[in-house]
């Protein structure tokens, strides 16, 4: 039996289940300060005899096993969590193997094994919510280099009519700064959920996401693209992406039927937690191999 944490900026979802994605119990804990949130996480898992735990965390985090700061949350704007040693806190509480990766990598893994990209050895999972993040499975493995990719912060061409300055703490008008939930709210003065009938909001959203997808496709050539996160609950965005992407691509790369290629998560809101169970499973196997 495995434990899983989907650690988000607003809430931590903790679950106990197996690598098939079957969840037997789950809870949601508000993300406040590490001491408070983690105390509740530990109490939840202490009830179980676990074989391993998988963590899919908001970031940026250090996932380079060779690094002295491996397992830490690094330059997050969430100050109480900056430089918090997440993995160490888990290791201090539980003496089982612990898999540690980003929330979006976990979701990409979940979707590739049990969701919309099941049976494929490559996919890209993108979330557009409080931020924009993406995780990729390439040749059956999570894409990782120096650390994890940060695809949400690429530069995009501004729409000529868009004067919004952008909302990224680091780059102002990168993709996240122009297209994440807070940017929608900043530009239009209302939350996304209250702008459902305003077509230009979702048209512009698709305009930026299509540009990002073009670049991801050119660089990674994923076999499936999964768009998740709160903002993508607005299905109008998909229509806008399907319109702009072929225009941008100009026929250069032949794409599959877009409605099958660019899809919502097959696991719905459970992509991240299912992927975290798989991270636990991987950590368990990895550990058995070492012995």
Among 193, 218, 219, 253, binds ligand ADP (CB under 6 A): 193
Nearer to Zn ion, 20 or 170 (CB): 170
Work out the number of other CB atoms within 10 angstroms of the CB of residue 115: 27
Size of the site for ligand ADP (CB under 6 A): 15
Residue 174 touches which of ligand ADP, Zn ion, none (Cβ within 5-8 Å per kind): Zn ion
Does 165 participate in binding ligand ADP (rule CB under 6 A)?
A: no
What whole-number distance in Å separates Cα of residue 15 and Cα of residue 22?
Answer: 10
Strands of 225-228's sheet in order across: 141-142, 132-138, 123-128, 225-228, 262-263
- Which positions ≥6 away from 71 have C-beta within 8 Å? 61, 62, 85, 86, 87, 88, 100
Q: Binding to ligand ADP (CB under 6 A): which residues in 171-190?
A: 181-182
Nearer to ligand ADP, 122 or 127 (CB): 127
Q: Binding to Zn ion (CB under 5 A): which residues in 138-177?
A: 153, 168, 170-171, 174, 176
Residue 34 touches which of Zn ion, ligand ADP, none (Cβ within 5-8 Å per kind): none
Nearer to ligand ADP, 166 or 229 (CB): 229
Residue 156 touches which of Zn ion, ligand ADP, none (Cβ within 5-8 Å per kind): none
DSSP assignments along the chain, one per residue? -EEEEEE-SSEEEEEEE-TT--EEEEEEEE---HHHHHHHHHHHHHTS--SEEEEEE-SSB---TTSTTTTBB-S-S-GGGTT-BHHHHHHHH--S-EEEEEHHHHHHHHHHHHSTTTT-S-EEEEEESSSEEEEEEETTEE--SSS---GGG-B-PPPTT------BTTTBSBHHHHHSHHHHHHHHSS-GGGGTT-HHHHHHHHHHHHHHHHHHHHHH--S-EEEESGGGG-THHHHHHHHHHHHHHTTSS----HHHHEE--TTGGGHHHHHHHHHHHHHHHHHHHH-
Nearer to ligand ADP, 130 or 287 (CB): 130
Does 186 participate in binding Zn ion (rule CB under 5 A)?
A: no
Q: Taking CB under 6 A as the rule, which mask of x and - marks residues 96-115 in contact with ligand ADP?
A: --------------------
Nearer to Zn ion, 182 or 246 (CB): 182
Smallest distance from the beta carbon of 251 to ligand ADP, in angstroms? 32
Residue 206 touches which of Zn ion, ligand ADP, none (Cβ within 5-8 Å per kind): none
Beta bridge partners of 214: none
Does 231 participate in binding ligand ADP (rule CB under 6 A)?
A: yes
Smallest distance from the beta carbon of 272 to ligand ADP, in angstroms? 9
Among 229, 265, 266, 275, binds ligand ADP (CB under 6 A): 229
Nearer to Zn ion, 91 or 171 (CB): 171
Q: Binding to ligand ADP (CB under 6 A): which residues in 121-160?
A: 129-130
Smallest distance from the beta carbon of 80 to ligand ADP, in angstroms? 16
Contacts with ligand ADP by CB under 6 A lie at 8-10, 129-130, 181-182, 191-193, 229-231, 233-234
């Amino acid at each position: 039996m495995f434990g899983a944490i989907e650690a988000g900026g607003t809430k931590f979802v903790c679950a106990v289940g197996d690598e098939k994605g079957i969840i037997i119990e789950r809870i949601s804990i508000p993300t406040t300060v590490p001491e408070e949130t983690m105390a509740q996480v530990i109490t939840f898992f202490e009830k179980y005899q676990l074989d391993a735990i998988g963590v899919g965390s908001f970031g940026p985090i250090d996932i380079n096993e060779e690094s002295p700061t491996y397992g830490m949350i690094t330059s997050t704007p969430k100050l109480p969590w900056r430089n918090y040693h997440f993995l160490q806190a888990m290791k201090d509480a539980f003496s089982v193997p612990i898999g540690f990766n980003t929330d979006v990598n976990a979701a990409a893994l979940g979707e590739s094994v049990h969701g919309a990209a099941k049976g494929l050895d490559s996919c890209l999972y993108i979330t557009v919510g409080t931020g924009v993040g993406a995780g990729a499975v390439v040749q059956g493995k999570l894409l990782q280099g120096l650390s994890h990719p940060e695809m949400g912060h690429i530069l995009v061409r501004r729409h000529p009519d868009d004067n919004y300055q952008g909302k990224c703490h680091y780059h102002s008008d990168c993709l996240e700064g122009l297209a994440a939930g807070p940017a929608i709210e900043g530009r239009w003065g209302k939350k996304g959920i209250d702008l459902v009938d305003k077509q230009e909001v979702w048209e512009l959203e698709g305009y930026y996401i299509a540009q990002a997808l073009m670049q991801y496709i050119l660089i990674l050539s994923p076999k499936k693209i999964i768009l998740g996160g709160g903002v993508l609950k607005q299905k109008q965005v998909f229509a806008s992406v399907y319109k702009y992407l072929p225009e941008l691509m100009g026929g250069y790369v032949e794409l599959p039927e877009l409605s099958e290629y660019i899809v919502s998560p097959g696991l719905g809101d459970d992509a991240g937690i299912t992927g975290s169970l798989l991270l636990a499973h991987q950590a368990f196997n990895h550990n058995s191999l070492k012995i």
